[in-house]
Amino acid sequence: MKEYSIDKLRNVSLISHGGAGKTSLVEAMLFNAGETNRLGRVDDGTTMSDYHPDEIERKISITTSILNFPWKDCKVNILDTPGYSDFLGEVRGALRVTEMAVVVIDVIAGIEVGTEQVWKFAEQEDVARVFFINRLDKEHANFDKVMDMLTSRFGPNVIPLVIPVNEGVGFDSVVDLVKMKLVKYEKGGTGKTSESEIPADLKSKAEQWRTKAIEAAAESDDAILEDYFENGTLTDEQFKTGLRKGILAGTIFPVLCGSAYENIGVKELNDFLVEFAPSPDSKGEIKGKNPDSNAEVTLKPSENETLATLVFKTESEPHVGEFSFFRVYSGVLRTGDEVLNVNQKTIEKIGQIYAINGKNRREIGYAKAGDIAAVVKMKNTHTGDTLTDRRNPVILPSIEFPEPVIRVAVEPKSKGDEEKISNGLQALHEEDPTFVMHYDPELRQTIIAGQGELHLAIVIQRLKNKFGVDVNLVEPKIPYQETIKGTAEVQGKYKRQSGGRGQYGDVWIRLEPLPRGAGFEFVDAIVGGVVPSKYIPAVEKGIREAMDEGILAGYPVRDVKVTLYDGSYHSVDSSDLAFKIAGSMAFKKAFMQAKPVLLEPIYDVEVRVPEEFLGDVMGDLSSRRGKILGIDAEGPFQVIRAKVPLAELYKYSTALRSLTQGRGIHRRSFSHYEEVPSEIAEKIIAEAQKKKEEEK
Ligand SMILES: Nc1nc2c(ncn2[C@@H]2O[C@H](COP(=O)(O)OP(=O)(O)OP(=O)(O)O)[C@@H](O)[C@H]2O)c(=O)[nH]1
Ligand SMILES: [Mg+2]
């Protein structure tokens, strides 16, 4: 195996709106590097990257694939992420472990809502960015138009290093502004090129862009800038150093271009990554924490340092077991090592370590600082965990995954599968943290939540394939709550006389509303022992049980204060049970007298759409009882912030997709509980009562 020092490694994510051409691009990159001997096609299901059966079937990427190839004296690791919005969590994981992101743009579509989203993630993870404007072989491709869009959205330091010569049908040539050469590609995707001088009609355009690039390079370093002022130009070395610095600092966003499908302009991208992309040690020290003291720990990005490895992805595969994909930040991870999983507080013995190229894997025995690889069959390691030296542990910041935007309830197709289903779903959550599940005892439903309908469909498919259990998806119940708006003082008296020993409990309670979110407060205001103190816990228990059961429509009661202030007892007949029943009776009566209402969960919703869909989306939100809080422009998009009842959000991501031709996305998070409008509350109550009758 060829050894690469850390400065010869490159970790690169491919990110974009869905379908811009990432998978086709990495296919061409691998082909040019000789890693595959034919240029596979997404549409034929023959690419190195989209090798999972569900990816082949749907012709889209669903999980991040890890690929690598040698180029010049470097090893380039590529993480090909999915662009479909249901799988954005995959993008977060990939960006977390790479120094460079290639933002692929479809020249016909320009900046899309997914472009904005992944750009934001890259910004948050502080990852250097380069654009690759793709599909220049398409009719009506207009590079200049997209350049204008990019500069107006992302700033004047979006600067091309490669420009097309003859975009559109018949496209085969680009100008490389670093070498200042015309590069003509052979037809048929062979990737073979011939170089020549830049033709006269393109010379001035090429020089203009190159001057811009030189100026930007000069501005990223004071010493170089001084030389630039003195000499009016830069040496090649200064130009490259300046560019590298600007790219690393995130002040220069270069633009390359070509056609992934026709394998044009892709060699320039490979060259660019080797020449200009930051290496894993370029950002200096790595920050982590001491898991015991929580004190900050800094590590050198070096193989001689303490081991710090982050697992950024987990995938189980039939017949092989679980693959944990990891990035080594410092130290060396070797087969046979016993390392500490800091998050799970367990020791893992490291099994086979593999270099990964899609579905091809090669045993390598170890992985050094800066590299990305996979290990199989760890016992208890999940996505986001840090593996480290047990004598000198450090914990790396984990990965931030997006909140779920869709929730559905699952029911077993065959009785008796409940436990298998719940274990399976839990395992799938550990593999993919953007999917969550829980059993809701109040709703008596297993709720699963994720990033969209396709995401959940794929989770259910995996549940079937890997755990052999099938479920039906049903509409989830809404976790309504019940509360009061008024006050009441009532008596609850339970008295039974039937032959021998009777039952006697008698209480007076005051019921008052509490502020939203306050829950429950019980005040014992008995004086003079009119209710003996030994019975008071039973009274409270009776009240709590009545609250949990719900009174209006079977939903739990919240935000009330109960004061027990009077009552009476019988020296023989009183008991815990009698006082529990008295408490419950009193509570139910008081509740109905104190202006009871139903509360519903309200969510904060953020919708991002191109301007043209603004009206439709706002109208739709209003029809869902949404309250619009504000609209902000963000580049070519409008961001609508609204508060919407959860009951109106079922399958919203799908509705939004069809309303905006797939160009709108939304995020949501729980905000607060609010009173249900009375006409809707009446319906919910009537339905609950009908159900109760039926159950009798
Ligand atoms: N004409 C043309 N078609 C392309 C080009 N690049 C990709 N395509 C086609 O566009 C479609 C999507 O390409 P992919 O490579 O799967 O795009 P992607 O960005 O990986 O898609 P997701 O992973 O699903 O986000 C496929 O049909 C490709 O063949 C290109 O440069 N020119
Ligand atoms: Mg893809």
Q: Is the pLDDT of residue 244 over 80?
A: yes
Note whether residue 549 is domain-resident.
yes
CATH number at residue 611: 3.30.70.240
Residue with CA nearest ligand 1 atom 24: 60
Mean pLDDT of the chain: 93
Q: Is the pLDDT of residue 695 over 90?
A: no
Residues with CB under 6 A from ligand 1: 16, 18-24, 41-43, 60-61, 82-84, 134-135, 137-138, 259-261
Last residue of a domain, one of 339, 360, 388: 388
CA distance 558 to 566: 23
CA distance 133 to 139: 14
CA angle 583, 587, 588 (to 5 degrees): 120
CA distance 48 to 54: 14
- Identify the top-confidence range among 170-179, 283-292, 465-474: 170-179
Same domain, 528 and 670: no
Burial class (CB in 10 A: 0-12, 13-18, 19+), 289: middle
Contact indicator for 634, 116 with CB cutoff of 8 Å: yes
E strand segments, 177-307: 181-185, 193-196, 253-257, 286-289, 296-299
pLDDT digits (tens, 9 = 90+) for 639-651: 999 999 999 998 8
Residue with CA nearest ligand 1 atom 6: 21
CA distance 466 to 622: 42
* H-assigned helices in 518-629: 536-549, 576-593, 614-623
Query: Ligand 1: distance of its center to the CA of 106 in Å?
Result: 9
Contact indicator for 689, 553 with CB cutoff of 8 Å: yes
Q: Kindly give the pairing relationship between strand 406-412 and strand 338-341.
A: unpaired
CATH number at residue 213: 3.40.50.300
Same domain, 227 and 161: yes
Residue with CA nearest ligand 1 atom 4: 261
pLDDT band per the 50, 70, 90 thresholds, residue 322 = confident
Query: Which residue from 112, 127, 115, 135 is spatially nearest to 15, judged by alpha carbons?
Result: 115
Average pLDDT, integer, range 107-130? 94
Q: Is the pLDDT of residue 54 over 90?
A: no
How high is the pLDDT of residue 357?
Answer: 94
- Give the number of domains in the chain: 5
Query: Ligand 1: distance of its center to the CA of 279 in Å?
Result: 28
Q: Is the pLDDT of residue 356 over 90?
A: yes
Note whether residue 396 is domain-resident.
no
How high is the pLDDT of residue 466?
Answer: 85
**φ, ψ for residue 163, nearest 5 deg:** -125, 150
How high is the pLDDT of residue 415?
Answer: 85
CA distance 497 to 654: 61
User: Which atom number of ligand 1 is nearest to the Cα of residue 83?
Assistant: 25
Distance of CA 323 to the CA centre of its chain: 20
How high is the pLDDT of residue 32?
Answer: 97
Last residue of a domain, one of 470, 490, 515: 470
Contact indicator for 205, 213 with CB cutoff of 8 Å: no
Same domain, 326 and 343: yes
CA distance 570 to 421: 52
Both tokens assigned to 283:
């950002």
Note whether residue 655 is domain-resident.
yes
**φ, ψ for residue 89, nearest 5 deg:** -60, -35
How high is the pLDDT of residue 320?
Answer: 73
pLDDT digits (tens, 9 = 90+) for 368-426: 999 999 999 888 899 999 999 999 899 999 898 888 888 899 999 888 888 889 989 99
Same domain, 466 and 505: no
Average pLDDT, integer, range 286-311? 93
Q: Is the pLDDT of residue 1 over 80?
A: no
Same domain, 272 and 371: no
Note whether residue 694 is domain-resident.
no
Residue with CA nearest ligand 1 atom 8: 21
Q: Which residues pair with 11 in a beta bridge?
A: 77
**φ, ψ for residue 75, nearest 5 deg:** -110, 125
Same domain, 448 and 493: no
pLDDT digits (tens, 9 = 90+) for 184-220: 999 999 999 999 999 999 999 999 999 999 999 999 9
The radius of gyration computed from the CA coordinates of the chain, to the nearest angstrom, equals 31
Same domain, 456 and 498: no
Same domain, 415 and 380: no
Average pLDDT, integer, range 432-461? 90
Note whether residue 695 is domain-resident.
no
How high is the pLDDT of residue 430?
Answer: 86
Average pLDDT, integer, range 519-529? 94
CATH number at residue 569: 3.30.230.10
User: Which atom number of ligand 1 is nearest to the Cα of residue 138?
Assistant: 1
Average pLDDT, integer, range 167-171? 96
The DSSP symbol for 565 reads: E
pLDDT band per the 50, 70, 90 thresholds, residue 431 = confident
Q: Which helix (H) or strand (E) holds 308?
A: strand 308-317
Q: Which residue has the tokens 């020993």?
A: 501
pLDDT band per the 50, 70, 90 thresholds, residue 686 = very high
Both tokens assigned to 79:
């993480």
Same domain, 48 and 129: yes
CATH number at residue 424: 3.30.70.870
Helix, strand, coil share of the chain (percent; to 5)? 30, 30, 35
User: What share of the chain has pLDDT > 70, as a percent?
Assistant: 100
Same domain, 372 and 431: no
User: Which atom number of ligand 1 is nearest to the Cα of residue 82?
Assistant: 23
Helix (H, G, I), strand (E, B) or coil at 597: strand
Query: Which residue from 313, 311, 654, 315 is spatially nearest to 465, judged by alpha carbons?
Result: 315
Q: Which residue has the tokens 């829950």?
A: 519
Last residue of a domain, one of 243, 276, 309: 276
How high is the pLDDT of residue 676?
Answer: 96
Q: Is the pLDDT of residue 72 over 90?
A: yes
Both tokens assigned to 604:
């904060």
Q: Is the pLDDT of residue 229 over 80?
A: yes
Four-residue CA torsion sign, 90, 92, 95, 97: negative
Same domain, 513 and 650: no
CA distance 554 to 100: 53
User: Which atom number of ligand 1 is nearest to the Cα of residue 84?
Assistant: 25
How high is the pLDDT of residue 149?
Answer: 95
Note whether residue 202 is domain-resident.
yes
Q: Which ligand is nearest to the CA of 105?
A: 1
Average pLDDT, integer, range 514-521? 93
Give me the domain span that covers residue 617.
Answer: 599-679
How high is the pLDDT of residue 363?
Answer: 93
pLDDT band per the 50, 70, 90 thresholds, residue 283 = confident
Same domain, 16 and 92: yes
Note whether residue 32 is domain-resident.
yes
Both tokens assigned to 661:
């031709």
Note whether residue 208 is domain-resident.
yes
Query: Ligand 2: distance of its center to the CA of 39 in Å?
Result: 15
Query: Ligand 2: distance of its center to the CA of 439 in Å?
Result: 34
Cβ contacts of residue 293 below 8 Å, gap of 6+?
none
How high is the pLDDT of residue 467?
Answer: 87
**φ, ψ for residue 689, nearest 5 deg:** -70, -40
CATH number at residue 357: 2.40.30.10
Q: Which ligand is nearest to the CA of 164?
A: 1
